[in-house]
Structures are given as C-alpha cells and as structure tokens.
C-alpha cells in the first residue's frame, strides 16, 4: 500500500463516518438528547459536518489531527470511524511511501 491508497481509504472512511455521525446525531436530537454533555448529539452532528468537509482535504495534517480528536470526543460508531480515518491519514503521511 502506498500513500495514495492510504489517503483514498481515509477519504472513504471520512465519508462513511460523516454520514453515520449526521444520521445518529439527528436521531439523538429528535429524541430530545441535545443536552447530554459534550458527547451528545450536537457534537456528533458537528463531527459529521466537519468529516464531510474534510474529505477533500484529507492530506492536510492539521485537518487530520482535528478530525481525529473530534471523532474521539464525539464517540459512537460514526465518531469512531471518523477518528480512524484521521489516524489513517496521519499514518499515510508519515509511514507510507509515495
């Protein structure tokens, strides 16, 4: 696997994780869980929106770090996939050959 493959997998994971985060965050808001602390549906929605916007900038290390932290804070299935995509983007940049 080379660097481009790693970035492409990270891009797909960001897209999937962003969509899942938006769906689960909207479902949580519909149930009335807007004030469950930082790990509530609002943070999950924010993680989803940021992940979807970050798909085009997956090579930027600052974006990858921010997405990783945001995904870990948001939690859940969508947040975990977003965090994994950010970690994969960082690994692709530093450990994989071009």
- Categorize the per-residue pLDDT at 51 as very low, low, confident or very high, splitting at 50, 70 and 90: very high
- Mean confidence (pLDDT) of the chain: 90
Structural contact between residues 51 and 14, judged by C-beta atoms closer than 8 angstroms: yes
DSSP string, 6-71: HHHHHHHHHHHHHHHHHHHHHHHHHTT-TTS-TTSHHHHHHHHHHHHHHGGGTT-HHHHHHHHHHH
Per-residue confidence (pLDDT) for residue 33, from 0 to 100: 62
Instruction: Summarize the confidence of residues 7-17 as an average pLDDT.
Output: 96
Per-residue confidence (pLDDT) for residue 37, from 0 to 100: 57
- The tokens for 20 are 């899942």
């Amino acid at each position: 696997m080379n660097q481009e493959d790693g970035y492409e997998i990270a891009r797909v994971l960001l897209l999937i994780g962003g969509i899942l985060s938006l769906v689960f965050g909207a479902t949580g808001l519909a149930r009335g869980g807007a004030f469950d602390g930082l790990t509530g549906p609002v943070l999950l929605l924010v993680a989803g929106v940021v992940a979807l916007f970050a798909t085009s900038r997956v090579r930027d290390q600052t974006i990858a770090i921010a997405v990783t932290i945001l995904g870990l804070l948001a939690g859940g299935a969508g947040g975990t996939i977003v965090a994994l995509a950010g970690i994969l983007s960082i690994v692709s940049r530093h450990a994989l050959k071009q």
